Amino acid sequence: MSGASSREILIAALARLLDGVRFVAVGAASPIPAAACMLRRALDRAAGKPGPRLSILGSVRHNLFTNGSDELFDVAGQGRLDAFFLGGGQIDGKANVNLVGAGDYPRSDVRWPGSFGSAYLYFTVPRVILFREEHTPRVFVEKVDFVSAPGVSAPGVHRPGGPVALLTSKALFRFDNERPGFALESLNPGHTLDELREATGFAFAHDAHPPFTPAPDAATLALMRARVMEEVAETYPAFAAQWREGLAQHAKETA
């Protein structure tokens, strides 16, 4: 079996972050987090465990909710949702997320879809995983132009939820709520610490020689390329097709 692709390494890394989760939800247009949730469920079931309950907004087959985002917010507010994923047009070193736009609000130079329920979920879901595949200084900034969802809250504010990790195409970070700030856990294969510093607009803690994010083992990779790929195709057929095409192309190049 060929080695894991960069996206397969991301899927496996997110799945590891979901270990022990009972209920996880995924928002719209999030194929990599959705695949990670399906992988976590498949790995748990292969080990004789039930695996997490999963709701992917927009899916017919993999969605426990019958009333869309309204039910998602109700479940989160009741403390029944363990994990969720957030991204943003900008993310800063204190895990603040900007989903509104770049530039001086309200005269933003660039407008994005909007905050929707991001702040609410950031406050109520205990394991929020930040995910953004693009890792450039325009995304990871020293301070966001607009705070759609704050990464930390003032002392005395009741907040059971918040960020625990950030995964990008270049690296995996853990979030330290006490400092507060990010600490590098691992570099994704093919990237260097100097490259990461240059691409990141905020400072982060790191070891002198950080490890690499581990690739999935052969059994996990086989599960991803069979069961998980089939399941994710129901909600994200274009993503699954691109995944298959990438594997076929790689097989030709290495034949």
Judge whether residue 105 has pLDDT over 70. yes
Token reading at 33 = 């987090």
**Taking residues 163-177, what's their average pLDDT?**
98
96 occurs within a structural domain = no
122 occurs within a structural domain = yes
180 occurs within a structural domain = yes
Q: Which band of pLDDT confidence, cut at 50, 70 and 90, is reported for residue 4?
A: very high
Judge whether residue 44 has pLDDT over 80. yes
100 occurs within a structural domain = no
Domain boundaries, position 240: 6-87+117-131+149-254
**Higher per-residue pLDDT: 69 or 16:** 16
140 occurs within a structural domain = no
139 occurs within a structural domain = no
Q: Strand pairing partners for 101?
A: 111
Q: How many domains, the chain?
A: 1
Judge whether residue 184 has pLDDT over 70. yes
**Side-chain half-sphere CA neighbours of 16 within 13 A:** 16
CB 197 within 8 A of CB 218: no
Q: Looking at residue 2, what is its pLDDT?
A: 60
112 occurs within a structural domain = no
Please report, for the domain that includes residue 221, its CATH number.
3.40.1080.10
Q: Which residue has the tokens 């969802």?
A: 149
**Taking residues 196-206, what's their average pLDDT?**
98
95 occurs within a structural domain = no
